[in-house]
Amino acid sequence: MAHNPQPIALLTGAAGQLGRVLAQRLSACGWQLRMTDIRPFPDALPRGARFFEMSLEDKDAVIDAAAGCDLILHYGGISTEQSFEEILGPNYRGTFHIYEAARRHRARVVFPSSVHVVGLYDRSETLDQDCVLRPDGYYGLSKAYGEMLARVYWEKHAVESVVVRIGSTLPEPTDRRFLSTWLSHDDFIALMQCCAQAEHVGFTVIWGASDNSRSFWRDDGRVRIGWRPKDSSDGFIDQVEGIVTQDVIAESLQGGRFVTVDYTRDGLPPKDLF
């Protein structure tokens, strides 16, 4: 399924941190955006964009919003560690509705997964795309579910997905951990453009990080979609090397602070669990 450089795209979670970056930058690239969120869009509406205030838990509204779209950028839902009940509706039911909409309208999906699907791995380990998932909480668990849902919809319904395990998408790294997980805004936008332009993606997993020498990750599907990050956290090493938390668990594991929420084990999780 060929896609256009300037697609008609549904962007969920448009009022969130990453959604606002995407709205501004992709509109400037000529994309036609149909944007949704459960809360009002806080910025001036980009040229040519339309915004709908709606819940991802409203299946009919999600399916209607996706009509005529080539691509769905699914950035909606809870993006922090919360209780299972709070995450259940937006992240589980909402993502299911997104994939039902994609199946109905034959749209490609970009599913932003997260470092938190592998957050319980030690920082000394280097992971490939097919590593066993080790979510570090209910948020990470919902992203692991989304990855599996994307695979089901590819294998059963031929709905294409690019799963992007996003590290830390920030203007620049601000602590030691981000030297391993940082994804610059420029590399992030280039990645979204590659997701739209690639001729065929099937089910592709990408580690969402810039070209960082301290990366926790290697080997993914970036060659398939033609993405090559240009930025690196290496130029920030002297600036942020000494900025750390005082928590041994957070500093030992790839998920960082998220791991410590409701963490009741004594000491670190076993490395040889799998």
Q: What are the catalytic residues?
A: 139
**How far is 171 from 25, CA to CA, in rounded Å?**
14
Query: Which residues are CB-neighbours of 104 under 8 A, at least 6 positions away?
Result: 63, 66
Separation between Cα atoms, residue 132 and residue 45, nearest integer Å: 41
3 state DSSP class of 214: coil
Please provide the distance, in angstroms rounded to a whole number, between the alpha carbons at the two ends of the chain: 37
The CA distance from 42 to 19, in Å, is 11
- Angstrom distance (rounded) from CA 185 to CA 106: 28
Q: In this structure, what token pair is assigned to residue 119?
A: 């957050």
Joined tokens for residue 123:
């920082």
